Structure 1
């Protein structure tokens, strides 16, 4: 089992925090650790959902798949309570926002898509279901009468020690 952290970096304009919740769908392209096959389709992993209960794990997994090439059974789980917000203090640098327990598969590409939550600076407006598919997002905070935005969104994965 390998622990992999998803790190993000972004420039934040008038934003205190950018975050996900347990219902957010992380979309990944994955590589099988056994044969090295990388999926060509996106797979979603949702912390609040459990799939594929079996004798090895009666509570199931957040994600389960069988490799098309070698037939190996692989799974991933979001590490409980590992999800943290990306804040104004983090802006411009990479920060681990969530950790995954990976068994036989590792994420190699992340697509942020929709479902992010944004909190404006100075107790401003909250925005739900923010779409970062284009790696940029701009809106207007009516409460503070200024623009808010997420720019230059980037992500990477790091292997963590247990």
Structure 2
């Protein structure tokens, strides 16, 4: 089991999380590599935690099922919430925190691409920021209620066992 970790610097905001609901699940984008032939898939793949697919030759299911176009090897990815999951808060500034649990079989996840909407809250207000775009590695806005600038910077993603 792997975890997707985040480390960031939050200023004036807290509780960073993907906008993920049963009605509109968050799409997690990854660059992947076949574990058998080491071929890197040319495009990013998207996986959400609610979509389920039958695994060929098995009674099991996974969130994403893939067959390598180069060697024909089958693989799958299953997403989950880490046991100690909580939104990334201002108290976590600079620390690696588990964001997503990932089980990958037959495929290596080589990069997380943070596309899609995230959300966070004002650290000193009740303001909720929707449609937070951190795909560029940083985000800036203004909290009208608190009367100050807010930001998320120094965003780093890491996929590892620990």
| TM-score of the superposed pair, with normalisation by structure 1 | 0.87
Instruction: Structure 1: state its 5+ residue gaps.
Output: none
Q: Displacement, 1:102?
A: 1.0
Q: Is the 8 A contact 1:124 1:141 kept in 2?
A: no
2:7 aligns to what SS in structure 1?
Answer: strand
**Number of corresponding residues:** 157
Matches of 1:44 and 1:73, distance apart in 2: 17
The answer for the alignment partner of 1:70 in structure 2 is 71
1:49–1:151 Cα change, 3 Å: same
Q: Is the 8 A contact 2:78 2:104 kept in 1?
A: yes
The answer for the alignment partner of 1:134 in structure 2 is 136
The answer for the alignment partner of 1:5 in structure 2 is 3
Q: Is the 8 A contact 2:36 2:73 kept in 1?
A: yes
The answer for the alignment partner of 1:103 in structure 2 is 105
Displaced runs of 4 or more, over 6 A: none
Return 118-127 or 103-112, whichever deviates more. Answer: 118-127
Deviations 1:57-100 (A, max 9, x none): 35x32111101111111110112565531111111121111111
- Root-mean-square deviation (Å): 1.8
Instruction: Structure 2: state its 5+ residue gaps.
Output: none
